[in-house]
Chains A and B, each alone.
Chain A
Amino acid sequence: MSAPDGLASYGDEQQERVGFFTDTSVCIGCKACEVACKDWNAIPEDGTTWTGESYDNTSALGANTWRHVAFVEQAEPLRSRLEAPPDEAPAPGREDRGAPSATRPNGDSGTPLRWLMESDVCKHCTHAACLDVCPTGALFRTEFGTVVVQQDVCNGCGYCVPACPFGVLDRRHLAPAPDLPAFAKEDGRVWKCTLCYDRLKGGHEPACAKACPTQSIQFGPLDELREQADARLAKLETEGWEGAQLYGRDPDDGVGGFGAFFLLLDEPEVYGLPPDPVVTTRDLPRMWTNMAVAAGALLVGVAAAFSGRRS
């Protein structure tokens, strides 16, 4: 797999690259991750609007939400496998009854029902657009291979905001932090998941993974997580889960693989994720060349303007 940009610079200070594997097939949608994250990172509460979008009143990742649990209600079966009846012999009292219940999807008879829940987070991309485009070096690759915004450096230029293909980063428009100069009307800096950089430095796992009651959020060395994920996908396959897929596991994807990847039960866009994210800076060399030519053309063009006869 391609190494995360910038990680090499740490030499022997470099640590094993760590990340998250978020397995939505065991997510109970309790939002412990959201609270654990806010609690540890002292993120401000940001608005009490009821959305009516299932049980999701957080809506999206942003400057004040670094973990977001999505809720999707669908008329789909959760599993589709034909399960063998409880025991081989025809069940007592069942002889004369219709189709064996084993062919039923979960949810009560009639239309199937499933409720997908997914805890979203910054992907800590191997090739991170936000990291590349940051003009100040506020965003940087840590010794753990994660991507972090340094709040003592960020000047709120906002370039990383549209650069992120997942819409993770945003500028904080809330009341100024205590360390702000008097004139500042708002915090103005950009915030996102740090994968609990400080906790990692202390040898603790990130707050969300620590809290997760069902280990839907798993933290660890990325290589191990990828192996676990492959095994998990295989298991779900044998159990006949609908639409199970790993998202961001593959190092060859548009961003070189996620540092925080997912097991989804439906297409990414259903959870509000881009189906084929790419790091736009991968086109940057070509863009620079293109620009150079354009700049040259401008030079020539201006000169040409004088080539005409003098009036």
Chain B
Amino acid sequence: MPGLGTSFGRGGATTFQQDLQNADCIVIMGSNMAENHPVGFQWVMEARERGAKVIHVDPRFTRTSAMATKHVGIRAGSDIAFLGGIVHHILEHDLYFREYVQHYTNAPVIIDERFVDTEDADGLFSGWDPEAGRYDIESWRYEGMEVHGAAGQRGEGFEPRGEQSGHGAAGGGLRHGEPPAEDPELEHPRCVFQILKRHYRRYTPELVADTCGCSVEDFLEVCETLAANSGRERTSAFCYAVGWTQHTTGVQTIRTAAIVQQLLGNIGRPGGGIMALRGHASIQGSTDIPTLYNILPGYLPMPHTLSYPRLESYIAANTAPTGWWGKFESYWVSLMKAYFGEHATAENDWLFDELPRIDSDNSAYFTVRQMLEGNVRGYIIAGENPAVGHANGKAHRLGLAKLEWLVVRDLVEIETAAFWYDGPEVESGELKTEEIATEVFFLPAAAHTEKDGSFTNTQRLLQWHSQAVEPKEDCRSELWFYFHLGRLIKQKLAGSEEERDTLIKALRWEYPTRSAIEEPDAEAVLQEISGREISTGRFLSGYPELEDDGSTSCGCWIYSGCFADGINQTARRKPHWEQASYVAPEWAWAWPANRRLIYNRASADPDGNPWSERKRYVWWDADEGKWTGHDVPDFKEDKAPDYVPPEGAKAEDAIAGDHPFVMQADGRAWLYVAQGLEDGPLPTHYEPQESPFANPLYRQRANPRRQQNEGLAEDPYNPVADEPGAEVYPYVVTTYRLTEHHTAGGMTRSVPYLAELQPEMFCEVHPDLAREAGLEHGGWATIYTSRSAIEARVLVTERIRPLQMKDGRTVHQVGLPYHWGGRGLVTGDSANDLAHMALDPNVHIQEVKAFTCGIRPGRRPRGAELPRFVAELREQAGEAK
């Protein structure tokens, strides 16, 4: 997540779940932790039982709120206003942890004089290019520093951003790690600290109350509780999940929390941090070792069509002169050796010229558009159910119908596999089975009990699961499928002379197989990921051992060492009661370097002593001359606190002894992100793509950089704010999960014991809204947007409150779980059919947590009536326009 990546250096949760028990205050926001991470929530309960304050800020009163000591209801999509208000409160009343902020963040850094803040440009930062619809970030840079991305490429208009900026490699021009211009006293008008102050000046409690719909008292209580529970003696933690990410401002929301936690000195310390709660068993792993278009394993950027004509420029553009990203080339060369073995040589630039190039966006929603426009012929889907789980499911299903061939791999026949004969569009006649040309292969998959492998959980922990039984009949693991697919393709192309087949021929694809079905050995793959010294075959102990001369091979540098000493470190299962501390470092393996709480050098003061006895974690042992503590120090073990980098120091050596954020070029946490984000160096409140309100702060209503599908008929948007026609879709809708089900339901609607616990799609509405819209508890409601209309049972509850907004306006919110689809033991309409595909610009995530809808009593029209109904409302809104 670049929100965390750009702020701290790594795109992962800064802490681990068990450490939440040490928090004095936990703010859960953008997450419904008790419902969606119940077992992790035990650590929040531990903290609560020890007297910690648990604050839940959420549009709904959920099972998490019920456990909290405080719940504050806010309007969906107003999180940045709320968090920005906290920043304002902290700065206004000098509640920040001064020593921490001075030494460990970039607060003192002075910013280029050309930088213009949104406060002075009505919602736009300097560098906005209306034609291109993007920012030129040159004016955002540190004063006296060229923006990173060496000469010769600026013109090509591409800098590492989004996930690839997970490393925030913006170090160009840093002199031995120190920014050219700083004001340690934080008083210079252009220092980050003062810019921050000005940026949030208008985020007063009153503005927060007006924008979020909460009370000034509740908001202030949150600020004060947080501040009172941060500092030397106390720490506070934040927990978030997709309630923050699934917005057109998702990354910036997380950034705001990162700013709050930096100001309060809560990063890298026990009971502090930002806990990113991922939704899937290996969602962290699937970004670390990405099945994402724009990065290679370990957040190395994919080569881009518009930049890096040559290998040198690619390396130069991504290598930070200082910090751990200074060794970028070693990471990349070792990956190429893992991919192509002896075929990748210094002479052929490690095959750089043969690598595929990406454009600025080749994300899932881009692909859907390509499908709809007939540009995609084949699609392989493994363990995902876009027909239900993705925003605007209808667009997806229509897209699938335009494919030549489709492969779906899952345990059960999910909606995505059945779209051609059993989907809403078939029912409505928009698709006719006999007219769909798509050739569909459904291949049954193996379950976690039927294969070896590792998941990377929400706290960067790689845990190995062992095969318990053989998969039955045709069921196979993805490892089997992709290995044998690759084998077959290599066979077919073995004799090819085509230039395009160079890479596939060069691909190193030998893995030992076992059992009758020739299942590849997952451990052999993990060994390749962990890395070896090629000449000796010795397993590497970690990424510091990686070389840029092709002598080492490593499939994912941040995972390097997970097979150190030839032992599968991820399979370690030493019971926690046999381990010295609650950190339990001998249970599985965490990246990086088995650290559980990262940036933990910050748990000690600049001199290396614990900030307080109560919050002792990692400290400098002067006698031993090394860092020690409960965890693996996230710092060069023998680098003294008073270490000052020599002139011309490079990479990690250029990080001073009192700078804990070793991934960052300047070794500090970034309050202000000079480079790496598409939509600004500082988070700013923008309204969602669809909301009933104008932006209370600027004329610029929504995120200017958000991605929209202009001119895509399948993805129309509702009129908003005071636009005519907005009254057709007057309510705020938010989608979510329930404890009893999992995402698109493929893994739970097929399970009897879970199906019976939440058997039907329902919507949650407040009694006032029920009265207003004529809804009857237990009856049916039809919810509609300009995309589609669905039906749901009506659950009238006080738990989803109407909010009092500016000048007495009331906003009603509609709650929609999104687990149901047309197939399974229990079925229902899919909430995601209502959602649009406008995206966050950094990570291309859709905005399903806040959009607008209309609602009326009764079941939805059937058959061809449905599209007609939706179209009529759209016209009604359009005419009004």
Chain A interface residues toward B at CB < 8 A: 26, 28-32, 34-35, 38-39, 45-50, 52, 54-55, 57-58, 73, 75, 78-79, 85-87, 91-94, 97-99, 101-102, 104, 106-111, 113-115, 117, 213-215
> Within the complex, what minimum Cβ distance (angstroms) separates B539 from chain A?
37
List chain B residues, Cβ under 8 A from A26.
Answer: 45, 49, 67
Does B512 interact with chain A (Cβ within 8 Å)?
Answer: no
Q: What are 8 A-B residue pairs whose CB atoms fall within 8 Å in the complex?
A: A30-B38, A35-B757, A38-B753, A73-B799, A85-B224, A101-B220, A106-B71, A113-B71
Of A28, A48, A107, the contact of B756 (CB 8 Å cutoff):
A48
> Is the beta-carbon distance between B752 and A45 smaller than 8 angstroms?
yes
B450 interface residue (CB < 8 Å to A) = no
Q: How far is the CA of A50 from the CA of B777 in the complex (A)?
A: 12
B612 within 8 A of A: no
Q: How far is the CB of B691 from chain A (nearest CB, A)?
A: 20
Which of B73, B214, B228 contacts A86, CB < 8 Å? B228
Chain B residues whose CB sits within 8 angstroms of the CB of A117 once the complex forms: 63, 66
Query: By the criterion CB–CB under 8 Å, are B93 and A92 in contact?
Result: yes
B71 with A108: CB separation less than 8 A: yes
Question: For the complex, is B797 an interface residue (Cβ under 8 Å from A)?
Answer: yes
Given contacts A102-B221, A107-B71, A108-B72, 15 further A-B contacts (CB under 8 A): A26-B67, A28-B38, A28-B64, A31-B757, A50-B793, A54-B795, A57-B758, A73-B797, A78-B66, A92-B227, A97-B216, A97-B220, A109-B218, A213-B41, A215-B42
Check B777–A52 contact: CB distance below 8 A.
yes
Residue of B nearest to A111 (CB): B798
Shortest CB-to-CB span from B70 to chain A, Å, is 6
User: B354 interface residue, CB < 8 Å from A?
Assistant: no
Residue interface bits B597-616, CB-to-A below 8 A is 1, else 0: 00000000000000000000
Q: Which of A29, A32, A47, A98 contacts B66 (CB 8 A)?
A: A29
In the assembly, what is the distance between CA of A113 and CA of B66, in Å? 8
**Which residues on the B side are within 8 Å of A104 (C-beta)?**
217-218, 221
Task: Check if B798 sits within 8 Å of A75, measured CB to CB.
Answer: yes
List chain A residues, Cβ under 8 A from B70.
106
Please report the total number of B residues contacting A with Cβ < 8 Å: 63
10 residue pairs, one from A and one from B, having the closest CB atoms: A86-B228, A92-B93, A101-B221, A48-B759, A45-B752, A50-B760, A115-B66, A109-B215, A52-B778, A30-B38
CA distance A214 to B39 in the complex (A): 7
- Shortest Cβ distance from residue A108 to the other chain B in the assembled complex, whole angstroms: 4
Q: Does B61 contact A (CB under 8 A)?
A: yes
* Most chain B beta carbons < 10 A, residue from A28, A99, A117: A28
Binary interface profile of B, 71-107, with partner A (CB < 8 Å = 1, else 0)? Answer: 1110000000000000001001111000000000000
Q: Max chain A CB contacts within 10 Å: which of B35, B65, B92?
A: B65
Determine if A28 and B63 form an interchain contact, defined as CB atoms under 8 angstroms apart. yes
Residues of B within 8 A of A54 (CB): 795, 797
Docked Cα-Cα span, A29 to B762, in Å, equals 18
The dominant DSSP class at the A interface is loop
Evaluate contact between A101 and B61: CB separation under 8 angstroms.
Answer: no
**Minimal beta-carbon separation of A7 from chain B (angstroms):** 33
Flag if B756 contacts A57 (CB, 8 Å): yes
B218 engages A115 (CB within 8 Å): no
Q: For residue B88, which residue of chain A has the nearest CB? A: A93
Instruction: Quote the shortest CB–CB distance from A212 to chain B (angstroms).
Output: 9
CB neighbours of A29 from chain B (8 A): 63, 66, 739
Contact B756 A108 (CB under 8 A): no
Q: Shortest Cβ distance from B53 into chain A, in angstroms?
A: 8
Is B73 in contact with A108, judged by CB distance below 8 angstroms? yes
Instruction: Indicate if B694 sits at the interface (CB-CB under 8 A).
Output: no
Set B64, B218, B755: member contacting A48, Cβ < 8 A: B755
Known: A45-B755, A73-B797, A113-B799. A30 touches B63 (CB 8 A): yes
Contacts A30-B34, A87-B228, A101-B217 given; indicate if A113 touches B798 (C-beta within 8 A). Answer: yes
Q: Does B330 count as interface, using CB distance less than 8 angstroms?
A: no
Question: Chain B 719-763, CB within 8 Å of chain A: the 1/0 string?
Answer: 000000000000000000011100000000000111111111010
| Interface pair B218/A57, CB less than 8 Å apart | no
**Chain B residue with minimal CB distance to A211?**
B39
**B69 x A106 contact (CB < 8 A):** yes
Distance, CA A48 to CA B225, complexed state (A): 43
Cβ contact within 8 Å between B67 and A28: yes
Which residues in window 784-804 of B have CB below 8 A to A?
A: 793-795, 797-799, 801
A28 & B41 in contact (Cβ 8 Å cutoff): yes
- Name the B residues within 8 Å of A28 (CB-CB): 34-35, 38, 41, 45, 63-64, 66-67
Q: Please give, as numbers and ranges, the residues of chain B lying within 8 Å of A50 by CB-CB distance.
A: 758-760, 762, 793
- Residues of chain B within 8 A (CB-CB) of A113 are 61, 65, 71, 798-799
Knowing A30-B38, A31-B740, A35-B753, the reply to whether A92 touches B63 (Cβ < 8 A) is no
Which single residue of chain A is at the shortest CB-CB distance from B58? A108
Bound: A31/B757 CA distance, A: 8
Within 8 A of A (CB), among B212-269: 214-218, 220-221, 223-225, 227-229
Nearest to B777 among chain A residues (CB) is A52
Shortest C-beta distance, A25 to chain B (Å), equals: 9
Note all chain A residues with C-beta closer than 8 A to B759. 48-50, 57
Q: Are B38 and A108 in contact (CB under 8 A)?
A: no
A57-B797 in contact given A45-B752, A92-B95, A101-B217 (Cβ < 8 Å): no
B228 contacts A45, C-beta separation under 8 Å: no
Does B825 reach chain A (CB closer than 8 Å)? yes
- State the Cβ distance, A109 to closest chain B Cβ, in Å: 4
Name the one of A30, A99, A107, A114 contacting B739, with C-beta atoms under 8 angstroms: A30
Q: Which of B93, B94, B221 has the most CB of A within 10 A?
A: B221
A128 to chain B, nearest CB (A): 28
